[in-house]
Structure 1
Amino acid sequence: MLIRTEAPVDILPVDRLLKKTFETDAEANLVMALRENGNRTLSLVACNDDGEVVGHLCLSPVTVDGQDNGWQGLAPLTIATEYQRQGLGLALMTEAKNILAELGYPVVVVLGDPNYYQRVGFTTAADHGLTCRWDAPVEAFMVIELLPETLAGQQGTVEYSAEFSAL
């Protein structure tokens, strides 16, 4: 498996992967809108030995109570069905965490399955005084600190970019 930054040639394969792995086209439309509006901070793909895109991860800016502190929101993350449960999603997240930390991005938030995301270090955001605007179980909104001491004293409502409003 090769994990790399998304290139223009990956746009259509990523779109097909998102449409194939999610129940609706909402996530594919979200990624396309983030891409078109320049609101992606990092987009990674995982390719099999034949060069086929079999995984994708997207990160985009979020704010806390309207303040941009360089925080990122992870959404979406998808792996082709036949490649799931092989550690590929965790590998994508680990690579993303390393890249973001190197670039100075301090925090990532995610709304998803706690049992899955806790495996790479995410913790419940509410434990840090953080909430999101969506009606979701409190344990599903999580955060991970990439740069030490960033979460100290931070609290408020995390807002994703406008493209997420269409979901």
Structure 2
Amino acid sequence: MLIRTEAPADILPIDRLLKAAFETEAEANLVMKLRENGRCTLSLVACSDEGEVIGHLFFSPVTVDGQDDNWQGLAPLAVKPEFQRQGIGLALMEEAKETLAEFGYPVTVVLGHSDYYPKVGFVKASDYGLSCSWPVPDEAFMVLELIPGTLAGRNGLVEYSAEFSDV
């Protein structure tokens, strides 16, 4: 398996993957809108040995109390159904953590499954006084510090890009 940055030729395979991995087309439409509006910070794909796109994750900017500190929101993370439970999503996350930190993005947040994301280091955002702009279960909104010390004394309302309002 190869993990690499999304290339223009990956856009349609990613779209098909997202439509296969989720119950609705909302995530696929969200990624297209974010990409079209220049809100893509990092988009990685996992490819099979044959070159097929079998996994994808996407990061876009978030703000805290309206302030842009280069924090990133993860959404979505998807793996083709027939390739799930093989560690592909976790491998994508590990690569993303390293890449984001290398480029100076200090923190990422995710709204997701509380059994899955702690495997790569996410913790409840509320433990740091961070809240989500949507009414979500406390354990579902999580944060991961990529550059040590960034979360010290930081709290507030985390808001995603406007494109998320349509989801």
Task: Name the TM-score class by shorter chain.
Answer: over 0.9
**Equivalent position SS for 2:116:** helix
Unaligned runs of at least 5 residues, structure 2: none
Q: Which amino acid counterpart does residue 155 of structure 1 have in structure 2? A: N
* TM-score, reference length from structure 2: 0.99
CA displacement at 1:96 relative to structure 2: 0.3
**Residue 31 of structure 1 corresponds to which residue in structure 2?**
31
Cα deviations by residue, 1:100-159 (Å, 9 ceiling, x for unpaired): 000010000000011100000000000000000112110100000000110011111100
Matches within 5 A, 1:43-62: 43-62=43-62
> For the aligned residues, what is the CA RMSD?
0.5
* 1:119 counterpart letter in structure 2: K
1:71 aligns with 2:66: no
Query: What letter is aligned with 1:144?
Result: L
**AA in 2 matched with 1:18:** L
Identity of aligned residues (%): 71
* Structure 1 counterpart of 2:81, one-letter code: T
2:9 aligned with 1:9, yes or no? Answer: yes
State the AA in 2 paired with 1:28. A
Match of 1:92 in 2: 92
Residues 10-40 of structure 1: CA deviation (Å, up to 9, x unaligned) = 0000000001111111000000001100101
Whole-Å Cα distance in 1 between the matches of residues 40 and 154 of structure 2?
23
| Counterpart position of 2:40 | 40
Matched, 1:127 2:147: no
Q: Which runs of 4+ in 1 moved over 3 A?
A: none
Counterpart-to-counterpart distance in 2, 1:28 and 1:81: 15
User: Is 1:109–2:109 an aligned residue pair?
Assistant: yes
CA distance in 2, matches of 1:9, 1:71: 27
